[in-house]
Amino acid sequence: MNVLRALIGVLGLALLGLILWAAFAKADLHGSFMDQLGVITTLPWGIVSLFDLYVGFFFFAVIVFLTERSWLAAAAWAAPIFIVGNVWSALWLLLKLPSLARRLSRTD
């Protein structure tokens, strides 16, 4: 369990690092975020990738709503996923993984 949590933490931090790198990259070399998004949305696989990303966010939000005890807590965890992305998912998993593992390993 600790190895999995460490891996999730490392990958979450790596993703955060990449996001920060991209956010502070020189816009004059590659264009702004909106310029690059405009290019991505003209490419068929760019559209598929963005759709896949947001469908994955939705699937993760469903898991959050199914596992959180209150709707308010679930909404507070699920809503930022669509803006912050999988860095937020990694944080949620880091915090909830032990209790999720216990709940999933119970026999009914």
pLDDT value at residue 34: 87
The least confident of 7-21, 23-37, 48-62, 65-79 is 23-37
The per-residue DSSP string of 25-91 comes to S-HHHH--HHHHHHHHTTSHHHHHHHHHHHHHHHHHHHHHHHHSSSHHHHHHHHTTHHHHTHHHHHH
CA distances from 58 to 5, 72, 105 (A): 22, 17, 25
| Contact indicator for 101, 77 with CB cutoff of 8 Å | no
Mean of the per-residue pLDDT values of the chain: 91
Question: Which residue has better confidence, 65 or 21?
Answer: 65
Cβ partners under 8 Å of residue 78, min gap 6: 60, 61, 64, 65
